[in-house]
Structures are given as C-alpha cells and as structure tokens.
Structure 1
Amino acid sequence: MNTSTQLSPLRKTTKHEQAEALAVEQAKHFGIDPNSEYGMSLVELATTLYKANNKTHDLWAITVEGLSDLDKSDRIAWFNAKRFLSFQIAKILDNLQNPMRATYQSIATNNGNFASKGAYPIFDNVAAIFSASPVITRTATYLFACTEWIEDAFNGKEPLHDIYSRLLNPTSIALANHMVDLEAGERANQYLAWNFNSGMAAIDGLLSHLLGYEDIVLASRNIYGGSYQLLEDWFAKPSNLNVAVEWVDGYSGDDFAKRLDEVAEKYADRIANGKRIYVYLESPCNPHGYVLDVAAISYASHTRGWDVIVDSTVGTPMLHPVLKRDDVMERPDYVIHSYTKELAGSGTTTAGVVIGRNETMFIPKGESVPFTKPNGDEVTIEWNNSLFWNVYYIKGAFLDADKAFEVLNGMKTYEMRVVQKTINTLTLAKIFDAHPDINVSCPALPDSDNYLHCQKNMYLGLPAALFTIDMEGNGNRAPINREVFKQFFDMLEPAIGMQVSLGQTNTVALCPALTTHSELSDSALSEAGIKPTTMRLSIGLEDPRMFIAHIIEAATLSIDNKHPEFSQSFPCAEQIDDIYLQTYTQVHDKIVRNQPSFNTLRR
C-alpha cells in the first residue's frame, strides 16, 4: 500500500500524493469547505497526520534494518522513545474526542429511543489501549472508518479493521502473537498463529487445510485418541477424503525415513497423480509421554519434500522448543497446541492454536508470494492456499475474547508450573519404578528405550508431566488381579482426580483404554502399548509424596486382598523423602545453571 495515501478515505481511488492535497480532498469528501475556519483547521491537522504517517513508516524501516546492529542500551532507548510516541498519538486521539462528543450529542441525544444506540465506543475506549493486560473485546462487530478502508479489510489489507469477531478479535490476536513469541523466540517475525475454540478444532482446521482427496498421512503411533479418530474415521473414510493413514512405531529419524520410503512406494500411483504425504507427530505423546526426535524426523521428511505437523501440547514451548532450531530443515512446518492443557493451566476453558510460517498462514486476498521450502525448493503460494482463507475464514472456529483472555492470564505462570510438575513427575516415576509390580513408561528414566530421545529433544532432558504405569506383571511377577485393580483405581480420589484432561494444576488419572483412547481397536491399543491396567498420570502441583501415601492406603484396602505384599513393596518413608529432595534440588540446579549469565543479559 502507498504510505502517502494510506490514511486517505479515498486511498484506492485518489489521484493525489501530496499531504496537503490529500487533506483538502478528505475535507471535501466529508462535506467540509476547506476554506472555512473549521475546514482550514481540519486540513492543517490532516496534513500533519499524512506527513506523520510517512515519518512513521520511515521509522519502521529504520528499526527493521538497524535493530540487529544495536547494542542493548540503544535498543532500550529506541523502544522507550517509540513507546512514548504511542502515548502522544493516543493523546491526540483523546483530545479529538471532546469536540467529537459534543457534536455527537447535538445530533443523537434528542432522538427517540436514544438508549438503544448504546454508548458510542470511540469516546471512552482510547485509554483501554494502555490496559496492563489485553482488554476483553467482547463484541461481535466493529466500527469501520470508511468504504474504501472496509473494502481493504475484507481483502485482508487493513489490519486495523477486525470486521467481525468470528474472524478476528483483538484479544485473540494478542494471544496468537504472544504464542508466536513464546514458541519461535528470535524467529517470531517468520511465524504467524491462528487460534481456535479447542485443540481438536485446531487439529481439524489444519488437516482440513492441508489434506486433499487421497493424500497420505504418516502418523506417529501414540497420539491422542481424538486425533486418531479424526484421521481414521473421518479423513480416511472413502466417502469423505479417502486419505491413506499409515503409522510409525518408532521415535527416531531413521524409523520415519524408512517408513516414508515404504509409504512412498506403496502409494506411488497416488504420488504420481500429485498427491502428497504429510507427517503427523505428537511429541511428547499421549498417553506415555514418549518423545519423538522431531528434529531428525523433520529433516528426513523435508529432504523428501514432505511437510511435518507436530502437536506439542504436552511438551509446551518451554520443554519442547521445536521452532527454535537453527536449521530450518529440523523445524516442523506447523505446530499445534491445545491451550486447554498446560498453557491455560486451570482446566477451565478449551482453546487451541496452529502456528506456521507467515506465507503459509496468511496472504492478502488476490495476491501471491514466493516461498522457499525448508529443502530449498522455490514455490509460489496463492492467497487462497493460505490457512486463513482456505479454512479459517470459512469454518468460523475462531477463539472468542473471554477464552483468549483466560489463556493469556494462565500463560503468565506456565513456566513456573512446568518446572514444579517436572520435579513431581520425576519423583513419582522413580518411586513407582522401585516397586516390583509396577511397570513405568516414562522417558526420563535411564532404562527407558525413549530416554536418549528425551535427553536430545527436551529442554535439559526434562520430561513433560505425563507418563503411564501398569500392573501387567514383569519377569516372574504375576499381573495384578483386574478386579482388585478396578477397586484400587476407584479409591484414588481425592488425592488424584479421576478426570479425562491433562495439564491442570491438580494431578489427574485415567485408564486410556476405557476413556481417551477407547476409539482404538484392541489391536491398535496393543500396538500403542496401552494395556487394560495402564494408568495415565497427568501430574499437578501438589506434593508428590502425598499421592504415594494415598496410593499405599488405597492398595492396602484393595490390591493387598489378592497380593498381600503390594502396599509394603514401595520404598520406605526415608527413601521417598530422599528421592523428592534430590530430584527437587537437581532440577532447580539444572535450570539455574542453564540461565544466561549476567554479562549475556546486558548484551
């Protein structure tokens, strides 16, 4: 857009470019005589604004070009100088409201049924710009400036106009931008996010955007049951998209590279006809918390020209920073989160997000952009092949302002919560692992076949707050009787919540085979390592020793009736205290020692 004419109500049709000529034209457009006292003052102010807008774009360009070369003191100075300019511009807007309010009152207040119009929103909303938290923009629709601006807005070329809250809402946009900062860090300017009303809506929205008729999905074996059902029962259904869904049982780049080649050979006819393979991952995965080598899998997939999707809900941007890899080949193309879980943290709302490269997420209507894929291939993306126009604009699963505000508030403390949950997870996994009749599936335990992937891909090798245990026997130990196991499980309350979600402040447990993964067939459950007595534990913030104390009492009332030594086979009280103390100090020591030095912070 021409910056000289950007502020004009006739930005699309004006023949002028000089500030004063544009200001005069603007006055005439609204029926003002530019030679009247009011008109001359209006033209002078508008002329100043046109010139100021050009200078604002100059400042924008200088900032983008020079920021990387500045030392920290200059960056602080630049930020605060521009911050104060924001207040000055807002004060001009505030000053404008007084004469505008008086004019409005002279027109509107004498009419009948004036109350039905409600308060005119511009008058008292200016101060809301400086709310310390993003405001809850609880509205369905918005005021617009003029005909040509709203035309641009409907074409995706005027971000000031959100049009309608099913599409865009300032509170939700604030959350999306903040999420990109958390997930991508210093590369945030390369990525864009769209929020959805749930994690499943985000998954469905992205898959609906990417998958065409008879495309192929290669998915990691352990994924959320709802995602499994969406792939197998909807996308793979012949009367829907007849997508081929294949599975991988491993965690490594080599495991996926091998399967990619097998799948490409199996569906060679489809690929020859332009169909594509999409790699769908969940890491850390549900229910076991196992970690995939996302970097190596992304590299193998990109080498072959295929896109990668990662649901990183369980890992969070802190523990599983998949977009902060230096090598773009090792970064997935899309990242999904269910805000409902760790990020919001309280289990009181449902929300989701998709993050992708700018060019794949939004392009103004009617335009196209060149895009370099991770493997170096050059492609052109048309506007209607971006996620916004292809799916988001049409399906209407946008996150409302109240939910967005709740997630924003929850995210302020998520890093502290994640640290404590990691400590509790490690503590419980170690204690359960010491019991001869409990099998623990947790990637942070050194004897886990997933341990090395956890160390390589997770922040400081720390696990997410999710793992499973089962009592199906091992070695010469017999399985725990199913009936007493059910009795034991039904006695976990109130220490452990019997709930189906995860990532809340409290610890919750469930049996995946009966709940979250009940959509899977018996053979699929077996392939996913989910047994009848598998318990998924989503760890909360409570003292983990309290759970062990409760579990021992529950086992005494139930399992001990068939297996008399069960409750006595946990580590002794002193050992449990030592495990907790050592784990607590070790995790905090790791994190503190990994923080940047003071000299680094000053740069």
Structure 2
Amino acid sequence: MSTAAIHAGWRADDMHGALTPPVYASTAYAHEDHASLKDLFARRSSGYAYSRSGNPTTAVLEQRMAALEGGTGAIAVASGQAATTIALCALLAPGSHVVASQLLYGGTTEFLGDTLADLGVTCTVVDPWDLGAWERAITPATRAVLVESIANPGAQLVDLPAISALAHARDVPVVVDATLAGPALHRPGEHGADVVVHSATKHLCGHGTTLGGVIVDTGSFDPRRCPDRWPRLTTPNARFGVTFADEYDRGGSGLLAYARSKYVTDFGAALPAASAQQILVGIETLDLRMRKISADAAALAGRLHGSEGVVRVDHPTIPGRPDAHLAERDFPRGTGGVFSIDLAGSEEAAAAFCDALELFTLAVNIGDARSLVCHPATTTHCHLSETQRRACGVGPGTVRLSIGLEDLEDLSADLERGLAAARAVTGPLAGADPVVAVRG
C-alpha cells in the first residue's frame, strides 16, 4: 500500500522528468485538428478537452486511488459531499429507494432525508448492527445500500461482508464511505463493497489544506445482471450515444463513465488541479500517518475510559463494544483517529471542555495533522432532529475528537486540562459504567 501511495499513476514521464505530478493549470486543451476534438466529444477516443470533465493532474489522483482501493477506476471530485452525491445519483432514480446506516455523518443524513427526497427517492435508516433490519428494509425498489466503514463521530464499525451478502442476494450494490479508515486501514472492496467514496479532504490529504472527494468502482457491480433495474446504464443513452454498461468488459461497470459524463459535468463538481496535487502529496505519507494516529487514538481512548466526568468513550477498543470482534477481524492495522466521548453535564460541560483545550483546535474538520475537537450537536449534526442525532450517537454532551500527529503525552495532558474544566462546571461526578453505557 505504501509503495502504491507514492508511485501509482505517475512515472516521472513528463518532458522535464518531474518526480511529483505537476499542476496542469489549464481550463482547456489544444487539439491538432477538427477530427481529434470531434472524436473526443463523440467518446471514440480518450484525452482532455475541458477541465470540468478531466485534467491530467486529477487523472493521476484517480489512478492512484483506484490502485490503493484495488478498484477498476476512480473519479476525483470537488468534495466528499460531492462524491457521495454523485455516486448515489448515478445509481438512483425517481421512485427508487436506498437503505442507509443510522450512523452517518450529519451532512450525509441531511442529503438522504432532504435533497434526495426532493428528487423522489425514499430512504430507510437502520441500525447497522441489526442484520435482520437490513434484510427487512431492502425492497424491490432499493437501488443502493449505504454505510460508513468507520462511523462519524462514534467510530462504530459494521459487518460489511454480512451486509454486502444480504444486499447482493437482492442485486443491490453497496456504497461505502471509507473516509475515516482510508485504504491504509481498510479496503471495502475486499469485504463486499461495490462503490467506495472518500472525503479526500480528511486523511488522504492529511494537512487541512484542501477540499476533495473520490469515487472508486471496485469492479464487482455489473448492471447487466439486472438490466431492467439500471436502464440508464444498460440501454443506449440518447444524450451520449453509448451504452455505458458495455464498458464492463473493458474493466469497469460503466457507472463511473456515466457519473463523470453526466453528473460531474452537469453539477460542475470538478476538482481543481492544484487540489489534486495537494492530495497526491498527502497520500504519499498516508500509511505512516494512519499507523501513528490509530495507535495514539486507541491509547487516548483507553485513558479517557472511566475518567471522572466521562460518561462514555466511543471507540472500538473500549470494553463492551459490540463491534470489538470486527476491529480484530477487519481492522488489524487500527481504526483511525476519530472517536467521541460523552461528558456528564451535557452541553455546558462540553463547552467548558472544548474552551479549555490549548493543543486541540476547535474546528469541524477531521483527519488533519493537527488534533481537532468539536461539539457535533451544535455544529456538524445541528440541523438534524434530536431523534436523528440520538440515532447517530450524538447527544448534548458528546464531543468529537480527531487525533493528529502531535506527541501522545502532550495530547493526553491537554485532554486532562479539558476534563478538569468540565468537572469544574458539573462538580465531582463519577463516570458511568462504560459497559452499560455503550450503545448496541
């Protein structure tokens, strides 16, 4: 993985021998004659015409991500939210249905319940650990199953092979948001996923400098198995003059080609070349960063567990977590750097905790080299109903932590400073029994 993170997609073969992919800062690309440009727009040849639909720097990122995820291809887009939106729009149509885990990033939950509803798509939300609920929720209209490999903010894991088996038995593709794990820790395609999406803004970039998203086709989805379910892929497309599913025999399902041709172009969700280059640089150190971040997050979660004023620590290593066996089976390299804690004293304690921290930065990003903290109920999940927030594992006392690359002991001391401030607000309180408090 670490070798592909440095070399995949680029061989220093430009005219100057640049070791890192250069930024092709061009909106359009010159062609030698009328015929070559005509063939490109007619999809009879490959190449670049306009950077809204493709760019040489972005193409390197796409090739690298496909290699890292073991996929047949990838599309790089403007943000993680754009990646989720485009992947689902390419699979869904008015009147169709999606089944989603209740443990999702707040922005994804809003998209499913609001924007997709406006487009005539229904959604059923289920407990990710209840396999019976998954099976019961899938209907003849279901066109996608959506889960996060590691949930935000509580770091819950899902039994992806089991969920994928249930979905595939009903010819439903599985879409996995792998942002919190990244290919350094977990490759969803090896566990049954058909489509993988990332917010490249997070661990892939790793330095809080750049927005980006990636969609990867793992190669397992073949729309021709049920052509009536995917007519936009399996029948001739009047607009583009091709049948996208015909690309399956050339190493892709046609899903990415359709998504790029229609949704990336129509939505204008192109990733700038400079952003692609920043993400490529970040990916080069992904393996090393994720090893340290995962180890330090687990250590800090263990120290916080049972601390005075801490009602619950949501991390897969905490005793009593029903997904502990999944961490051992599917995540031997660690479960990332994002987890949450619940403080006694509700929002008042959470505010005091956040305000007292000196090393952790109060910000709503995750996956940065810097350690970050936020209060999800009033930020990332604030537009959800209380019932939706509770289903996502977010309460008034929940604080999300994103562990960075600082020294472990410095981070631990800063968290103790925050806990002391929270206790000063709530008074002396003993942490609740963590085994009882854990959800599930």
Q: Distance in 1 between matches of 2:245 and 2:98?
A: 27
Structure 2 SS opposite 1:214: coil
Q: Which amino acid aligns with 2:147?
A: L
Report the Cα offset of residue 367 of structure 1: 4.5
Number of the residue aligned with 1:457: 330
Aligned to 1:157: 44
**How many Å apart are 1:201 and its aligned residue?**
0.9
**Closer, same or farther in 2 for the Cα pair 1:451/1:550, shift >3 Å?**
same
1:244 aligns with 2:149: no
What are the within-5 Å matches in structure 2 for residues 124-143 of structure 1? 127-128=15-16, 130-143=17-30
Q: Secondary structure at the match of 1:459?
A: coil
Question: Offset of 1:482 from its aligned partner?
Answer: 4.9
Query: Would the aligned equivalents of 1:313 and 1:339 in 2 still touch at CA under 8 Å?
Result: yes
Deviations 1:484-521 (A, max 9, x none): 442232111x2111000100001111111111111210
Which residue matches 1:15?
Answer: none
TM-score normalised to structure 2 length: 0.84
Counterpart-to-counterpart distance in 1, 2:368 and 2:255: 39
1:332 partner amino acid: A
Correspondence 1:486 to 2:351: yes
Instruction: Indicate conservation of the 8 Å contact 1:224/1:286, yes or no.
Output: yes
Range that drifts further, 218-227 or 240-249:
240-249
Greater CA drift, 554-563 or 242-251: 554-563
- Is the contact between residue 213 and residue 241 of structure 1 (CA under 8 Å) also seen in structure 2? yes
Once the two structures are superposed, residues 258-293 of structure 1 have per-residue CA deviations (whole angstroms, 9 ceiling, x without a partner) of: 2344234xx5xxx3xxx3331011120111111111
Deviations 1:336-369 (A, max 9, x none): 0111000100011100010115677999852455
Q: Helix, strand or coil: the match of 1:449?
A: coil
Q: Which residue of 2 aligns with 1:291?
A: 157
Structure 1 residue 312 and structure 2 residue 178: aligned?
A: yes
Q: CA RMSD in A?
A: 2.8
Instruction: Provide the residue aligned with 1:547 in structure 2.
Output: 411
Q: Is the alpha carbon distance of 1:421 and 1:144 closer, same or farther for their aligned partners in structure 2, counting shifts above 3 Å?
A: same
1:535 and 2:408 matched: no
Distance 1:303 1:482, change over 3 A: closer
Matching residue of 2:6: none
Tell me the CA shift for residue 131 of structure 1: 1.5
Q: Is the aligned partner of 1:411 residue 2:288?
A: no
Q: CA deviation at 1:396?
A: 2.2
User: What letter matches 1:531 in structure 2?
Assistant: G
Shift of 1:420: 0.7
Contact 1:484/1:558 (8 A) holds in 2:
yes
Higher relative contact order (CA 8 A, sep 6+): 2
Q: Residues 146, 505 of structure 1: CA spacing in aligned structure 2 closer, same or farther, 3 A cutoff?
A: same
The counterpart of 1:432, out of the listed 284, 287, 304, is 304
SS of 1:423's equivalent in the other structure is helix
Name the residue aligned to 1:387. Answer: 259
1:212 maps onto 2:78 in alignment:
no
Compared CA separation, residues 483 and 383, structure 1 to 2 (3 A)? closer
Q: Secondary structure at the match of 2:387?
A: helix
Deviation per CA, 1:129-166: give whole Å up to 9, x if none.
x311111100011111222221211122322x300111
What amino acid sits opposite 1:302 in the alignment? H
Give the whole-Å Cα distance in 2 for the aligned partners of 1:212 and 1:470: 39
Instruction: Tell me which of 427, 436, 439 is aligned to 1:563.
Output: 427
Out of 132-141 and 448-457, give the one that drifted further: 448-457
Q: Answer yes or no: is 1:263 the counterpart of 2:133.
A: no
Instruction: Note closer, same or farther for the CA distance 1:448–1:260 as it changes in structure 2 (3 Å cut).
Output: closer
Corresponding position of 1:400: 272
Contact (CA 8 Å) 1:321, 1:459: kept in 2 or not? Answer: no
Answer yes or no: is 1:342 the counterpart of 2:229. no
Percent sequence identity is: 28
Contact 2:101 2:126 in 1 (8 A): yes
The offset of 1:552, in angstroms, is 2.8
CA distance in 2, matches of 1:485, 1:400: 37
Number of matched pairs: 403
Equivalents in 2 of 1:383, 1:542: separation in Å?
40
Q: Deviations over 1:172-231 (max 9, x none)?
A: 0011001111111xxx4xx11011011111111112211111211110111111111111
Counterparts of 2:425 and 2:193, CA distance in 1: 50
Q: Secondary structure at the match of 1:386?
A: helix
Given that 1:182 and 1:317 are in contact with CA atoms closer than 8 Å, whether structure 2 keeps it comes out as yes
1:74 matched residue in structure 2: none
CA distance in 2, matches of 1:556, 1:291: 31
Distance of 1:213 and 1:177 partners within structure 2 = 32
Change (3 A) 1:555 1:282: closer
Q: Is 1:280 aligned with 2:146?
A: yes
1:396 & 1:482 partners in 2: Cα distance? 39
Deviates more, 1:333-342 or 1:137-146: 137-146
Within the candidate set 361, 373, 389, 1:525 is matched to 389
- 1:205–1:382: structure 2 CA closer, same or farther, 3 Å change rule? closer
Q: Kindly indicate whether the alpha-carbon contact (under 8 Å) linking 1:366 and 1:383 is maintained by their aligned counterparts in 2.
A: no
CA contact 2:75–2:214 (8 Å) conserved in 1: yes
Q: Does 1:501 align with 2:365?
A: yes
**Correspondence 1:423 to 2:285:** no
CA gap of 1:164–1:385, structure 2 versus 1, over 3 A, is: closer
Does residue 175 in structure 1 map to residue 89 in structure 2?
no
Partner deviation per Cα, 1:545-601 (whole Å, 9 max, x = no partner): 22332333344455236424779xxxxxxxxxxxxxxxxxxxxxxxxxxxxxxxxxx
Closer/same/farther in 2, CA of residues 441 and 192 from structure 1, 3 Å limit: same
User: Which amino acid is the alignment partner of residue 355 of structure 1?
Assistant: V
The residue that corresponds to 1:332 in the other structure is 193
Flag the 1:368–1:342 CA change in 2: closer, same or farther, 3 A.
closer
Q: Is the 8 A contact 1:555 1:566 kept in 2?
A: no
- SS class of match (2:335): coil
Query: Which amino acid in structure 2 is aligned with residue 282 of structure 1?
Result: E
Distance 1:550 1:365, change over 3 A: same
- Choose from 94, 103, 107 the match for 1:222: 103
Q: 1:203 aligns with which of 84, 92, 97?
A: 84
In structure 2, distance between residues paired with 1:150 and 1:371: 21
**2:55 partner amino acid:** N
